[in-house]
Structure 1
Amino acid sequence: MRSSGSGRNSGRGNHRGAGNNRDERQGQGRPRKPRPEERRYDVGPGASQDGPKSGRGGTARGGAKGGPKKAQQPGQRGRTAPARSREYEARAEERNRERYAGKKDVKLPKTFPGAEQEGERLQKVLARAGYGSRRACEELIDQARVEINGEIVTEQGRRVDPEKDEVKVDGLTVATQSYQFFSLNKPAGVVSTMEDPEGRQCLGDYVTNRETRLFHVGRLDTETEGVILLTNHGELAHRLTHPKYGVKKTYLAHIVGPIPRDLGKQLKDGIQLEDGYARADHFRVVEQTGKNYLVEVTLHEGRKHIVRRMLAEAGFPVDRLVRTAFGPITLGDQKSGWLRRLSNTEVGMLMQEVDL
């Protein structure tokens, strides 16, 4: 019994001993491979032989993520250079200015194609003026619908100076600069000024969000409704209101009759007012309901209250007055208080009206 018990104990002992003997035999025959916890990761000069093999890279087993950092080589920068102070930058800038103060500007050679030409490409100018994409503007040129200074353009690539050259499409002048043109259906009660010191509603209230300063073309009475133009084109606005060009304005007036058959003739022949004769260019009855008449009056004068005074002098005071057209710009179905941008065709027609 003792021998068997001692045999079992010796067996366990031999098992443990076998492992120890194996380590000893390995240590005697060849260098013992270090365990993970015994490895060293010194690199560079003076690294131990127990370090990682060159083929395993810097992510050796047991090391931190990314492996050990390599030792800094002599001559390499260790840190980022400190930022220069503002005083240093200011002194450097001052030295540079003194260095180049007396020298002329250096003109670089124009090496790209077409650089020696001045102005802008015609299709670019047309596209900016609102005639569609550049491709669509090139088609206008191909169709011989564009002219520069009276000469029809027949080839692509022409350049123009928007400040000097006159560009036309289908015979109508193109506003090549950054001009803006609007039509407002002015409601009754709105003052025809851009600003009102008394705080009343005025035309400026409808264009407060515009970056460019606009001004109105002519005036309408406070109680008169209808078309009034707003623009930043000073010359156009001046000509549209100048008597020399005689731009016609059309009004619808509501009066109470009965009216004589020769009322139109009286207005066309001229009505004597306190500031001289006033003549209508056209007159017609649009609608009649009993004694209520809706008449249309067209004239080219722009004197104050001119239509109201003419009809009142003829014996028919005006109950309501609406301007339905200013030259070629008509009111159409534009609602009261609505502002709309004029189309390129309308702008061209306005310019044609006053020889621009």
Structure 2
Amino acid sequence: MSEAEGVRLQKVLANAGVASRRVCEQLIVEGRVRVNGVVVTELGSRIDPEGDIVDVDGTAVQLDTTKRYVMLNKPTGVVSSMRDEKGRPDLRRFTKDWDERLYNVGRLDAETSGLLVLTNDGELAHVLAHPSFGVTKLYIAQVRGRVAPQTIARLTRGVELEDGPIAADKARLLDTSGDTSLVELTLHSGRNRIVRRMMAEVGHPVVELVRRQFGPLRLGTLPAGRTRELTTVERGALLTLSRSADGATEHPTSPETP
């Protein structure tokens, strides 16, 4: 690409929502912007937004405006599919407001609510969904019975299921009230209904389950059944994760239904 071609870097950054044009110029001068892994400090620098990879302070910048990233707080009773063969409520009602053809990243079973990502970015979806990349998910489970500290320790130490051993990355007891307890579990496993099976194995079947976090994304106060586009910061965090994953296209994607 000749010097006369391309778009000025500060304009590209501003258009991507990083900051105002003036602030973007300052970021460049301070050496905080990289293009294809190389620090660029010249304000006259031009890049190809369609082919170059840009990051600011190590966080990826989304330049491909054809990609869409949406967060859904999936309600219970909805299956994680764009078309259910049995005619059950599916995800189509949540994607009709976007022109792009969006699809879900991984799955939540019908009776589990919480954070689900909808996107048309296949490479990113692959990295997020496949357990080999270690993307963690945080769940809050209301379970039957009063959970003891020894049970929490057992969850992180590992339990034996019919399809092999499994251990939570983190586990903690949030509350015990009456005949139920609230347990927070963090896992990166992609095995089906894994949270429900783990809790049943330790004698505390799940009453209600919600996913509150997926990788760098947090559900926050998004109401059940509502969607929103990811913020610039959230998109950058996901793209950074995707770009840092080695061999992202070398492993088959496996469905994930806690």
- The answer as to 2:55 corresponding to 1:173 is no
Structure 2, unpaired ranges of 5+: 246-258
- The answer as to 2:189 corresponding to 1:301 is yes
- Asked if the contact 2:79–2:89 (Cα under 8 Å) also holds between the matched residues in 1, the reply is yes
In the alignment, the residues of structure 2 paired with residue 240 and residue 216 of structure 1 have an alpha-carbon distance, to the nearest angstrom, of 11
Moved more, 171-180 or 149-158: 149-158
Distance 1:117 1:259, change over 3 A: same
In the alignment, the residues of structure 2 paired with residue 236 and residue 115 of structure 1 have an alpha-carbon distance, to the nearest angstrom, of 31
AA of the residue aligned to 2:198: M
* CA drift at 1:327: 0.8
Aligned residues with identical type, % of pairs: 49
AA of the residue aligned to 1:322: V
* CA drift at 1:134: 3.5
Equivalence for 2:41:
154
Q: Which one scores higher on RCO, CA 8 angstroms, separation ≥ 6?
A: 2
* CA drift at 1:150: 2.2
- The answer as to 2:27 corresponding to 1:140 is yes
- The structure whose Rg is larger is 1
Equivalence for 1:319:
207
In the alignment, the residues of structure 2 paired with residue 211 and residue 317 of structure 1 have an alpha-carbon distance, to the nearest angstrom, of 41
- The answer as to 2:213 corresponding to 1:333 is no
In the alignment, the residues of structure 1 paired with residue 94 and residue 125 of structure 2 have an alpha-carbon distance, to the nearest angstrom, of 19
1:1-356 alignment, distance < 5 Å:
117-178=4-65, 179-354=67-242, 355=244
Moved more, 130-139 or 189-198: 130-139
* CA drift at 1:246: 0.6
User: Could you report, residue by residue, the CA deviation over 1:109-159 in whole angstroms, capped at 9, with x for unpaired residues?
Assistant: xxxxx9863322222322332224444433432343321122222121211
User: Could you report, residue by residue, the CA deviation over 1:6-37 in whole angstroms, capped at 9, with x for unpaired residues?
Assistant: xxxxxxxxxxxxxxxxxxxxxxxxxxxxxxxx
In the alignment, the residues of structure 2 paired with residue 270 and residue 115 of structure 1 have an alpha-carbon distance, to the nearest angstrom, of 57
| Count of matched residue pairs | 243
- Asked if the contact 2:147–2:173 (Cα under 8 Å) also holds between the matched residues in 1, the reply is no
User: Could you report, residue by residue, the CA deviation over 1:251-310 in whole angstroms, capped at 9, with x for unpaired residues?
Assistant: 000012222321122112222112111111111011121332111011110111000011
User: Could you report, residue by residue, the CA deviation over 1:153-207 in whole angstroms, capped at 9, with x for unpaired residues?
Assistant: 2121211123332200121011111221111111111110122344432222111
Task: Report the 3-state secondary structure (helix = DSSP H, G, I; strand = E; otherwise coil) of the residue aligned with 2:240.
Answer: helix
- Asked if the contact 2:170–2:185 (Cα under 8 Å) also holds between the matched residues in 1, the reply is yes
Query: Which is strand-richer, 1 or 2?
Result: 2
Distance 1:213 1:259, change over 3 A: same
Distance 1:129 1:336, change over 3 A: same
Distance 1:139 1:194, change over 3 A: farther
Q: TM-score, normalised by structure 2?
A: 0.87
Distance 1:314 1:159, change over 3 A: same
Structure 1, unpaired ranges of 5+: 1-113
Q: Which runs of 4+ in 1 moved over 4 A?
A: none
AA of the residue aligned to 2:138: T
AA of the residue aligned to 2:124: L
AA of the residue aligned to 2:45: R
AA of the residue aligned to 1:152: V
